[in-house]
Amino acid sequence: DIQMTQSPSSLSASVGDRVAITCRASQNINNCLNWYQQAVGKAPNLLIYTASSLQSGVPSRFSGSRSGTDFTLTISNLQPEDFATYYCQQSCETPYTFGQGTNLEIK
Amino acid sequence: QLHQSGPGLVKASQTLSLTCAISGDSVSSNRAAWNWIRQSPSRGLEWLGRTYFGSKWNYEYPFSVKGRISIKPDTSKNQFSLQLNSVSPEDTAVYFCAKEILHSGPNRFAPWGPGTLVTVSS
């Protein structure tokens, strides 16, 4: 199975800050990488697919990038509704696997 | 949209059964696969398997639950179901159904159902 290693596990930031969350795949997954946001008590919601494509309706302050097997989710100008947990997921092959999550908290 | 139903409490050794009703799409669509995913503090997000229609119905399950799990479409009701046999307290989790978008670049899950907390009592 492809392992997804996500870091950091938690992150504190303030409204207006810019933050980055990284995810490393255990093997080459090309651009088969998705990012999800999960609010407390809710289902995950797709933010970014194919490493850098913005899902319809998602604000442009969210962006994704790739360097080899390393992927980054960047959130600029943090808004109060952005404080949530974020997950990466590889969709290159089954079994699909997820990162362990990054809990973004208000400083 | 996806709407989940099923019991929130199951006894150990019995069968966990959940249903996911689909609105605004078709379980027989050739551009979608229908998945079950669960989430627990100990295991995080764990993909449980999927079904999709190509020239025939296809089923895929991870090794971790293979032999205990069944995901089935119901075309008459436009829904799909999850059955997990011989459950133990380790199967306690929030269970989500999710649509997987196919044939439009790499696959991704959107939307997800709201989730059902299933507790396995010993």
**pLDDT tens column, B15-35:** 999 999 999 999 999 999 999
- What does the pLDDT look like over A96-106, one tens digit per residue? 999 999 999 99
Q: DSSP letter at B89?
A: G
The reply to whether residue A43 touches residue B113, judged by beta carbons under 8 angstroms, is: yes
At B38, the pLDDT band (50, 70, 90 cuts) reads very high
pLDDT, residue B106, reads: 81
A36-40 own/partner pairs: CB under 8 Å, 24+ apart: A36/A86, A36/A87, A36/A88, A36/A89, A36/B109, A37/A82, A37/A84, A37/A85, A37/A86, A38/A84, A38/A85, A38/A86, A38/A87, A38/A101, A39/A84, A40/A84
* 3-state SS assignment for residue A62: strand
Is the link from the previous residue into B106 a cis peptide, with omega within 30 of 0?
Answer: no
Characterise A30 by phi-psi region: left (phi > 0), alpha (psi -120 to 50), beta (else). Answer: left
Residue, of B72 and B103, whose pLDDT is higher: B72
Tokens of A99: 């990162």
In percent, how much of chain B has pLDDT > 70? 100
For residue A63, is pLDDT > 90? yes
Give the pLDDT band of residue B105 (cuts 50, 70, 90).
Answer: confident
For residue A105, what pLDDT is reported?
97
CB pairs < 8 Å spanning A and B: 63
Closest Cα to residue B33, out of B87, B89, B100, B96?
A: B100
Mean pLDDT over A8-36 rounds to 97
Phi and psi (nearest 5°) for A99?
-70, 170
Q: Which of residues 4-43 of B touch A (CB under 8 A)?
A: none
Whether residue B10 has pLDDT greater than 90: yes
Contact B36, B48 (CB under 8 A): yes
**Radius of gyration, alpha carbons of chain A:** 13
Per the prediction, chain B carries an average pLDDT of: 96
- Region B78-103: mean pLDDT is 97
- Alpha carbon separation from B110 to A9, A60, A71, A93, B75 (Å, rounded): 24, 19, 20, 17, 20
Q: What is the pLDDT of residue B104?
A: 81
Euclidean distance between CA atoms A47 and A93, whole angstroms: 20
Q: Which of B115, B120, B36 is nearest to B83 (CA)?
A: B36
Candidates B108, B112, B116: best to mutate against A (most CBs of A within 10 A) is B108
Q: What is the mean pLDDT of residues B102-112?
A: 90
Q: Residue A28's pLDDT is what?
A: 97
Instruction: Determine which of A17-21, A96-100, B28-32, B100-104 has the lowest per-residue pLDDT on average.
Output: B100-104
